[in-house]
Amino acid sequence: MEEKKQSKSLSISLLKWKLNKEELKNQIDNYNTLGFTKSAKKVATALLILSIVITLVLGLFGIVSLGETWLDIILLAVLAFFVYKGKKVAIILAMIYWTFAKGYQLVSNPQQVLWVIIWWAAYMGVFFQAYQVEKARHKMSQEKTEEPVVRYCQKCGAQNQEGSKFCTKCGNKISIS
């Protein structure tokens, strides 16, 4: 029994796409308090920043031309900012960007196929995990706001919207209590 408990891992891992219920709950319950290695959106942000750093280092050593990659750097920085803010759209755009970027790399360097696929899958897994968390959070907040607040008439029992002073069915005055 104790062994089962120990194998429970609630951290975000690379090359794993789907969050199980427990992990998702942990991500939502501790959304603001999870650290940079455990929060899905923070790991996703860190990966985007890592890509900026790698591009800058490659540029510094003359391996890539910074003149040609500055647009990628700006795009990555903008995506990193909004992924950190927990914007679902930014996570989707990051997945699209990443797929195009790795696809381009594969076409221009077909011999790196394995490396490109691993790099692609590692990032995509984390992006997808972050997306699942935001999707679940979004759903939760919608359920909260969609729940109608009703007041029941004490005289006839009809449902009335919050704020109504008189019952729409019998005209009885609705008390707040």
Where does this chain bind Zn ion (CB under 5 A)?
153, 155-156, 158, 167, 169-170, 172
Nearer to Zn ion, 36 or 152 (CB): 152
Minimum CB separation of residue 34 from Zn ion in Å reads 49
Distance CA 170, CA 176 (A): 17
Determine the Cα–Cα distance for residues 29 and 32; give it in Å rounded to an integer. 8
Residue written as token pair 């755009």: 93
Which one, 13 or 161, has the nearer CB to Zn ion? 161
C-alpha–C-alpha distance, residues 135 and 40, integer Å? 12
Q: Which is nearer to Zn ion, 65 or 168 (CB)?
A: 168
Give me the least distance between CB of 175 and Zn ion, in Å please.
12
Q: What is the nearest approach in angstroms of Zn ion to the Cβ of residue 2?
A: 59
